[in-house]
């Protein structure tokens, strides 16, 4: 029986990641111990290492992962959808546990805005406190009681399930919950990273007639085109003038008026003003990409009023978004080669994976830890 686990630890902001070894805990009641198979590397991990988000350190990174159940605590017999669980099952899990008691959890039904003790795997769980292995960049992860645990659909391989990481449920929230995409709509997605790609995929599943992906670099847009993600692709590095980009994008829309829905998934503040310019009168804008604070940007509020726009913010994702993502994997796989998004790295190369994500040289970096 394995008694120790390697784990990649962020000890201090701006410093190289460290490999530590921790004792593997036995699961208590309603908890689970999972042998991690694959763990995603997200843009948020780049921000965490750089110190752009206030989190406790040291921390085992990794807020997106899939793995096999190694041991189940007493009372944990089924996943959140009622499927029976057993050792060896491939599972994934919601990366946060909201407090369930604050105003936003109980009254507003918005657990992503939880103001209580919201626990997030791989982000705010200290590695120097029990159970230590509370992040996915580890041989094992301890899933605490209250975790939304989901058995993977048989049609989805672990690599396919992790291919969109937290981008999948983020897109379910931002592109399906906060705005309404109707069959026949024209949708513009700003951003060609994992969140933008996922948003474009879900726009198509929702029945959009025409999806325009505005992003870059060219290799990402070529991947999107090859996988059938979007019908038109506009390279921001090739067309650097926002006015010219707007002209090109509007030419892809009905009557040249603009998109029915624009999903901003760039993280660049100026893209929000551009989204307002790209959407048609009485259209909808979902601002998903501003996860870290890159500062203010000028906008023309007159356009919001004159166009009668609906603009929504979308912060993170909750249980229904995560379940929606996992449940939709069969439909996504019917249309898109999700595994083609992935570049794999061994756990020992986590630092290189983060660097490649920061450089934008890969679309989705994934640490292969346990594999199949």
**Residues 44-90 pLDDT 10s:** 999 999 999 999 999 999 999 999 999 999 999 999 999 999 999 99
pLDDT above 80 for 317: yes
Average pLDDT across the chain, whole number: 97
pLDDT above 80 for 2: no
* Mean per-residue pLDDT, 246-265: 97
Tell me the C-alpha distance between 259 and 285, whole Å: 9
pLDDT above 80 for 247: yes
* Percent of the chain surpassing pLDDT 70: 99
- Binning pLDDT at 50, 70 and 90, where does residue 105 land? very high
- What is the distance in angstroms between the CA of the first residue and the CA of the last residue of the chain? 18
Closest among 21, 35, 44 to 66, alpha carbons compared? 35
CA angle 219, 172, 118 (to 5 degrees): 110
Residue 335: the pLDDT is 97
What is the per-residue DSSP string for 210-277? EEEEEE--HHHHHHHHHHT--SEEEETTT---HHHHHHHHHTTSGGGS-EEEEEE-S--THHHHHHHH
Q: CATH topology of 4-166+317-368 equal to that of 167-313?
A: no
pLDDT above 90 for 274: yes
pLDDT above 80 for 118: yes
Fold of the CATH domain 4-166+317-368: Quinone Oxidoreductase; Chain A, domain 1 (3.90.180)
User: Which residue stretches of the chain are H helix?
Assistant: 43-50, 103-106, 158-162, 167-171, 194-205, 218-227, 242-250, 270-278, 301-306, 319-335, 350-359
- 137-172 pLDDT, tens per residue? 999 999 999 999 999 999 999 999 999 999 999 999
- 188-241 pLDDT, tens per residue? 999 999 999 999 999 999 999 999 999 999 999 999 999 999 999 999 999 999
pLDDT above 80 for 1: no
**Bridge partner residues of 78 (DSSP):** 84
pLDDT above 80 for 93: yes
Tell me the C-alpha distance between 164 and 38, whole Å: 12
Tokens of 154: 């048989």
Q: Does CATH number 3.30.70.20 belong to domain 167-313?
A: no
- Binning pLDDT at 50, 70 and 90, where does residue 372 land? low
- Binning pLDDT at 50, 70 and 90, where does residue 3 land? confident
Token pair 């593997």: residue: 24
- Binning pLDDT at 50, 70 and 90, where does residue 292 land? confident
Tokens of 357: 């994500």
pLDDT above 70 for 371: no
* Mean per-residue pLDDT, 365-371: 91
* Mean per-residue pLDDT, 323-340: 97
Tell me the C-alpha distance between 305 and 302, whole Å: 5
- Binning pLDDT at 50, 70 and 90, where does residue 117 land? very high
pLDDT above 90 for 119: yes
pTM: 0.96
DSSP state of 78: B
Domain spans in the chain, listed from the N-terminal domain onward? 4-166+317-368, 167-313
């Amino acid at each position: 029986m394995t008694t120790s686990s390697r784990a990649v630890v962020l000890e201090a902001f701006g410093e190289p990641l460290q490999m530590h070894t921790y004792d593997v805990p036995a699961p208590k009641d309603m908890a689970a111990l999972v042998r991690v198979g694959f763990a995603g590397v997200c843009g948020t991990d780049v921000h965490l290492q750089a110190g752009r988000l206030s989190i406790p350190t040291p921390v085992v990174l990794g807020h997106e992962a899939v793995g096999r159940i190694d041991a189940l605590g007493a009372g944990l017999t089924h996943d959140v959808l009622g499927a029976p669980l057993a050792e060896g099952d491939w599972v994934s899990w919601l990366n946060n546990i909201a407090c369930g008691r604050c105003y936003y959890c109980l009254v507003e039904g918005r657990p992503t805005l939880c103001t209580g003790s919201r626990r997030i795997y791989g982000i705010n769980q200290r590695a120097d406190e029990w159970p230590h292995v509370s992040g996915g960049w580890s041989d094992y992860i301890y899933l605490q009681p209250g975790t939304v645990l989901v058995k993977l659909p048989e049609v989805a391989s672990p690599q396919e399930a992790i291919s969109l990481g937290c981008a999948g449920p983020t897109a379910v929230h931002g592109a399906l919950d906060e705005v309404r995409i109707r069959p026949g709509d024209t949708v513009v997605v700003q951003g060609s990273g994992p969140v933008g790609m996922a948003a474009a995929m879900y726009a198509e599943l929702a029945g959009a007639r025409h999806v325009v992906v505005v992003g870059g670099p060219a290799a990402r847009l070529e991947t999107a085109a090859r996988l059938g993600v979007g019908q038109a692709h506009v390279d921001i590095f090739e067309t650097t003038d926002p006015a010219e980009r707007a002209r090109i994008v509007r030419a892809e829309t009905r009557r040249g008026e603009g998109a029915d829905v624009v999903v901003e998934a760039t993280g660049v503040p100026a893209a929000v003003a551009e989204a307002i310019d790209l959407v048609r009168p009485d259209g909808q804008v979902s601002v998903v990409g501003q996860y870290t604070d890159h500062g203010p940007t000028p906008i023309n509020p007159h356009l919001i009023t004159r166009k009668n726009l609906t603009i929504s913010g979308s912060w993170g994702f909750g249980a229904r978004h995560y379940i929606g993502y996992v449940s939709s994997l069969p439909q996504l796989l019917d249309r898109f080669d999700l595994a083609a998004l992935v570049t794999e790295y061994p756990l020992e190369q986590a630092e290189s994976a983060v660097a490649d994500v920061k450089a934008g040289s890969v679309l989705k970096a994934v640490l292969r830890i346990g594999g199949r």
